[in-house]
Amino acid sequence: MYGNADIDPNLKIHSIVADEDPIKLAAFEARIAAADKIEPRDWMPKEYRRQLIRMIEQHAHSEIIGALPEGTWITRAPGFRRKLALMAKVQDEVGHAQLLYSAAETLGKTREAMINDLISGKSKYSNIFNYPAPTWADSAVIAWLVDAGAIINQTTNAKGSYGPYVRALERICYEESFHLKYGHDNVVHLATGTAVQRISVQKAINRWWPPLMHFFGPPDSISEHSVILMRWKVKMASNEDMRQQFMDMYVPKIWDLGLTLPDPKLSKNKETGLWEYTEPDWAEFKRVINGDGPCNKERLAVRKMAEEKGRWVRHALLRKDAEYVTPLA
């Protein structure tokens, strides 16, 4: 626990790098300070490698699991143009997972091991994808606001220190900016539509606001990994900074559409420039990220089924099992 307020973070960091070669560690930290990119074959502390694998792997899992709530709306999208756009978006999200798994593989963990850890429940993925998307308006709100949150996180961390991760993030952000426009267009359409459409998008915003507040991670005072991740420039801003940035950019846009947010305390303090809000329910957050959210079991069951049904394709491609290989004429 790096974020434990009772423990001096410097002492804690000292203890986790205690068995590293001090000369190599100093050279590594000098490179980080000089904003150099660290590449896979460069020397790095064991904890830097471990933290990167954990975070990039969770990010990759979030992309493939994140494709599921919106993916269920492809067959029911209102109109052919929206169906095509949603199909392209979902395909992009799965592509992002491929980029991120490749970045994590450069650190020495195999894709097979990562997928196994996802399916067994050992690895985490974003809290937000464990909630249902019962209406078309939910898919619109995901595409606008969840993608907006992701862009804030990813454009910030794209200036970070690990080469393969930051290059993947840069490419992902280009695609996410299209998703954001697509989601915004859908929300505006509903918010300026019939009374039924307005009610439906308002209800969706009410459903997604609490998990969106959780999306940026726990408060800085209890964030376990922030101190070390920010010291080594993997995370370029704290969880609360990103949450504040998100509220700064999107609360006014939501209000401008005549929609409300389900938090009576939400307001910007003119003196501090910070948003004040009701403390999110962190006990719920903990339950959800540890497997006990409304859709965790369903999400993992779909991934497990995809893994099992796709096994013969992977085997055939890798020619692992002669039985699957069609002899060439």
Binding site for ligand BYC (CB under 6 A): 54-55, 58-59, 62-63, 66-67, 70, 93, 124, 126-127, 142, 146-147, 150, 153, 214-215, 217-218, 223-226, 229, 235, 239, 289
CB of 289 to ligand BYC, least distance (A): 4
Least distance in Å: CB of 149 to ligand BYC? 7
108's CB contacts (< 8 A; 6+ apart) are 49, 53
Residue type, 41: R
Nearest in space to 142 (alpha carbons), one of 161, 129, 160: 129
Nearer of residues 102 and 260 to ligand BYC, judged by Cβ: 102
> Which uninterrupted H or E stretch holds 276?
strand 275-276
- How many CA atoms, within 13 angstroms, populate the side-chain half-sphere of residue 28? 23
Roughly what angle, to the nearest 10 degrees, separates helices 195-215 and 239-256?
A: 170
76-106: string of b/e by CB count within 10 Å (b at 16+)? ebeeeebeebbeebbebbeebbebbbebbbb
Report the residue number, 62 or 244, with the smaller CB distance to ligand BYC.
Answer: 62
- Cβ 23 to ligand BYC, closest distance in Å? 28
* Residue tagged 């794209």 (tokens): 158
Least Cβ distance, residue 100 to ligand BYC (angstroms):
9
CB of 145 to ligand BYC, least distance (A): 10
Tell me how far, at minimum, the Cβ of 323 lies from ligand BYC, in Å: 36
Nearest residue relative to ligand BYC (C-beta): 66
> Which residue, 10 or 267, is less far from ligand BYC as judged by CB?
10
Q: Which is nearer to ligand BYC, 275 or 293 (CB)?
A: 293
Nearer to ligand BYC, 220 or 316 (CB): 220
Closer Cβ to ligand BYC, 171 or 320, answer by number: 171
Residue at 81: amino acid letter:
R
The whole-angstrom separation of Cα 200 and Cα 269 is 30
